[in-house]
């Protein structure tokens, strides 16, 4: 690639993004809830790790029914997180360290406490009434948080749509005035100097509920093109859409630069692999390693010149990857590094979720009163009424519940892991005695430094961004692939399992760039110990 072309490439193609769940990152005033000043305090840590941007989960004014994904005022900071001045300081302090702030844009729905919805309910002939989705009769649509997606409003005499909690009424994107309101609030934040938006359930905004259409409605891409024109178009800006229904066919519709919509999408296909077909996320089954390889390799087939991919294992809705696909006991460090390399060796923009870089694990509970998450609590009530056993439901929550990702960040081994001097809003994982940032920083061999190295490679080596991908033929238990560009050729080899595996690979190693254990001398017939993974430069 010429220097000229390289210069024109958007920054986010060679970037690594770090996701912060503000409620659980760092508390500074002892109320047990993370805050913006806490993030400012930890910016030096993030700069040392080397990340380019922070995706900040919602910090807007909110009653907190879904931890901020129910917004009551898009242009105000929730007092539990701080003030608008704190937010502006976060943006500028981050910028000084070369870090951009990507805000979470939640515009499929608002809180039922948003002034628009309050007015819509009070006054059915107000313009605000039509900002929401109303119907005289409820149909079969279900809420993602259990039960019907329709709630009857006695005052209005109609049902309103809520694809999530009833406290999260859906916005009506068919209404042009509402769309303009959304563009205005986006521009409010763009003018504050943010670097991007992560767009919550953006695939739902084109919904046609009367025809049972939620994701991928007929007008979805028209709306996104209009949004692009009216807001971030022409700017050096990252936009990533949360799209559970993304496929290889429709991902380019969002992310082809010529279509002027988004930079990239989050697709969730790997999250389906350890779930029983046709069932809910709670109904688990063991992972088949062959399936995992197929899904990862399949998404590398995107046409990256006309589309872009994001790479992630974790977020605030998903269980911790080391507990899910790795081994969070005997092989915690090694399997966490293996999973990191497996993902960060691929083409796309990597995202790291807070605590992933120190190998934080799931955090089991023993009873429902220890659970905060609305999704798990509603599922528990619904299934209990259907006759399920309590133990089975707690087991499902421990495997898949969202609180696993939301326990406080583990900074050190002190009480409450250095997260708060008060009582944390959600219990700290007791393993913070061992798993914490302080220990990780003191150990040159830690998961932290492995991530740091992967991030540095992403910045230094164009091959990670532009190199082609080729899956090598191995047993299902091993994933091996090449990345190659005009100058260079790399090999990634990962033992996905806790058992030794044999590999027979044609490559001659020139240089080992990164490894989590012993790298065999001769790859033509080698045995890989449990979870061993390495990255090397090989002969072209
Ligand atoms: O998540 C979208 C979504 O579909 C989730 O409900 C998802 O199905 C589930 O959490 C998987 O376990 C987004 C946000 O990321 C999530 O935190 C919000 O609760 C949701 O939208 C509503 O805004
Ligand atoms: Ca606080």
Given a contact cutoff of 8 angstroms between Cβ atoms, the answer to whether 233 and 223 are in contact is: no
> What distance in angstroms lies between residue 312's CA and the mean position of ligand 1's atoms?
16
> What residue's CA is closest to ligand 1, atom 3?
201
User: What DSSP line would sit under 284-299, residue for residue?
Assistant: B-PPPHHHHHHHHHHH
| Model confidence pLDDT, tens digit, residues 430-474 | 999 999 999 999 999 999 999 999 999 999 999 999 999 999 999
> What residue's CA is closest to ligand 1, atom 8?
144
Ligand (nearest to CA of 78)? 2
Structure confidence at residue 1 (pLDDT): 47
> What residue's CA is closest to ligand 1, atom 12?
317
Give the integer Cα–Cα distance in Å for 73 and 84: 12
The tokens of 517 are what?
Answer: 């254990």
Residue linked to tokens 């970037």 = 15
pLDDT range class, residue 8, cuts 50, 70, 90: confident
Given a contact cutoff of 8 angstroms between Cβ atoms, the answer to whether 107 and 183 are in contact is: no
Give the integer Cα–Cα distance in Å for 461 and 13: 12
Those residues whose C-beta lies under 8 Å from the C-beta of residue 425, and which sit 6 or more positions away, are 23, 24, 32, 33, 372
For ligand 1, what atom is nearest to the CA of residue 374? 19
> What residue's CA is closest to ligand 1, atom 14?
200
Q: What length is written for the chain?
A: 540
Ligand (nearest to CA of 81)? 2
Q: Which helix (H) or strand (E) holds 226?
A: helix 220-230
CB-count exposure of residue 368 (10 Å: 0-12, 13-18, 19+)? middle
Ligand (nearest to CA of 55)? 1
Query: Hey, which of 164, 171, 246 would you mutate to test ligand 1's pocket, going by the most ligand atoms within 8 Å of its Cβ?
Result: 164
Give the integer Cα–Cα distance in Å for 76 and 55: 18
> What distance in angstroms lies between residue 51's CA and the mean position of ligand 2's atoms?
24
Structure confidence at residue 339 (pLDDT): 99
Those residues whose C-beta lies under 8 Å from the C-beta of residue 395, and which sit 6 or more positions away, are none
Give the integer Cα–Cα distance in Å for 164 and 66: 9
For ligand 1, what atom is nearest to the CA of residue 109? 23
Percent of the chain with pLDDT over 90: 98
> What distance in angstroms lies between residue 63's CA and the mean position of ligand 2's atoms?
16
> What residue's CA is closest to ligand 1, atom 11?
317
Interhelix angle for 390-400 vs 374-385, to 10°?
150
Q: How many CA atoms lie within 13 A of 97 on its CB side?
A: 22
Ligand (nearest to CA of 266)? 1
Give the integer Cα–Cα distance in Å for 462 and 14: 8
| Model confidence pLDDT, tens digit, residues 13-31 | 999 999 999 999 999 999 9
The tokens of 235 are what?
Answer: 């700017």
Give the integer Cα–Cα distance in Å for 492 and 503: 12
Give the integer Cα–Cα distance in Å for 379 and 81: 29
Nearest to 22 by CA among 57, 51, 72, 61: 57
> What residue's CA is closest to ligand 1, atom 7?
317
> What distance in angstroms lies between residue 113's CA and the mean position of ligand 2's atoms?
23
Give the integer Cα–Cα distance in Å for 273 and 295: 9
| Model confidence pLDDT, tens digit, residues 200-257 | 999 999 999 999 999 999 999 999 999 999 999 999 999 999 999 999 999 999 999 9
Give the integer Cα–Cα distance in Å for 494 and 324: 16
Tell me, what DSSP letter sits at residue 70?
S
Task: Ligand 1: list residues with CB < 6 Å.
Answer: 66, 69, 106, 144, 164, 200-201, 242, 244, 281, 316-317, 375, 402
> What distance in angstroms lies between residue 375's CA and the mean position of ligand 1's atoms?
9
For ligand 1, what atom is nearest to the CA of residue 106? 23
Helix (H, G, I), strand (E, B) or coil at 360: coil
| Model confidence pLDDT, tens digit, residues 33-92 | 999 999 999 999 999 999 999 999 999 999 999 999 999 999 999 999 999 999 999 999
- Give the chain's mean pLDDT: 97
Chain centroid offset of residue 141 CA: 26
Phi then psi for residue 334, to 5 deg, are -70, -40
- Residues marked active site are found at 200, 242
Those residues whose C-beta lies under 8 Å from the C-beta of residue 295, and which sit 6 or more positions away, are 269, 270, 273
| Model confidence pLDDT, tens digit, residues 89-126 | 999 999 999 999 999 999 999 999 999 999 999 999 99
Please, which residues bridge with residue 503 across strands? 526
Q: N- to C-terminal Cα distance for the chain?
A: 18
Give the integer Cα–Cα distance in Å for 118 and 112: 7
Tell me, what DSSP letter sits at residue 176?
H
């Amino acid at each position: 690639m010429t220097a000229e072309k390289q210069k024109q490439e958007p920054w986010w193609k060679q970037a690594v993004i770090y996701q912060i769940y503000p409620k659980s990152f760092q508390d500074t005033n002892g109320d047990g809830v993370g805050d913006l000043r806490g993030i400012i305090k930890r910016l030096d840590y993030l700069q040392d790790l080397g990340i380019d941007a922070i995706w900040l989960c919602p910090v807007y004014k909110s009653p907190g029914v879904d931890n901020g994904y129910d917004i009551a005022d898009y242009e105000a900071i929730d007092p539990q997180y701080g003030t608008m001045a704190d937010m502006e300081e976060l943006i500028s302090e981050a910028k000084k360290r070369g870090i951009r702030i990507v805000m979470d844009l939640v515009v499929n729905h608002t809180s039922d406490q948003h002034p628009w919805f309050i007015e819509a309910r009070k006054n059915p002939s107000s313009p605000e009434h039509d900002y929401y989705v109303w119907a005289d009769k409820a149909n079969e649509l279900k809420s993602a948080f259990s039960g019907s997606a329709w709630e009857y409003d006695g005052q209005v005499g109609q049902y309103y749509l809520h694809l999530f909690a009833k406290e999260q009424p859906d916005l009506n994107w068919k209404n042009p005035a509402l769309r303009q309101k959304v563009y205005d609030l986006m521009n409010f934040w763009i003018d504050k100097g943010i670097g991007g938006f992560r767009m919550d359930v953006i695939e739902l905004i084109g919904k046609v509920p009367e025809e049972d259409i939620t994701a991928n409605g007929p007008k979805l891409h028209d709306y996104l093109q209009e949004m692009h024109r009216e807001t971030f178009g022409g700017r050096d800006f990252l936009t990533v859409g949360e799209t559970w229904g993304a496929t290889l066919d429709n991902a380019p519709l969002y992310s082809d630069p010529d279509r002027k919509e988004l930079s990239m999408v989050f697709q969730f296909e790997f999250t389906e692999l350890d779930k029983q077909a046709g069932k809910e996320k709670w109904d688990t089954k063991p992972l088949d390693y062959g399936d995992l390889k197929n899904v990862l390799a399949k998404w590398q087939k995107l046409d990256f010149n006309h589309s872009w991919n994001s790479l992630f294992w974790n977020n605030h809705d998903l269980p911790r990857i080391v507990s899910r696909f790795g081994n969070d006991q005997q092989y915690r460090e090694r399997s966490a590094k293996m999973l990191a390399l497996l993902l960060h060796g691929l083409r796309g923009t990597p995202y790291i979720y807070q605590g992933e870089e120190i190998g934080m694990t799931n955090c089991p509970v023993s009873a429902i009163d220890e659970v905060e998450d609305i999704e798990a609590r509603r599922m528990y009530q619904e299934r209990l009424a259907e006759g399920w056993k309590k133990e089975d439901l707690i087991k499902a929550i421990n495997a898949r519940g969202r609180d696993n990702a939301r326990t406080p960040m583990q900074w050190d081994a002190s009480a409450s892991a250095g997260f708060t001097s008060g009582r944390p809003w959600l219990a700290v994982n007791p393993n913070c005695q061992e798993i914490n940032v302080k220990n990780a920083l003191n150990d040159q061999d830690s998961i932290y430094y492995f991530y740091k190295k992967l991030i540095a490679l992403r910045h230094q080596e164009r091959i990670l961004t532009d190199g082609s991908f080729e899956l090598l033929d191995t047993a299902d238990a091993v994933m091996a692939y090449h990345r190659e560009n005009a100058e260079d050729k790399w090999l990634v080899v990962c033992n996905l399992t806790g058992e030794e595996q044999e590999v027979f690979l044609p490559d001659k190693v020139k240089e080992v760039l990164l490894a989590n254990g012993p790298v065999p001398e001769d790859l033509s017939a080698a045995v890989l110990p449990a979870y061993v993974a390495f990255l090397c430069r090989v002969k072209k």
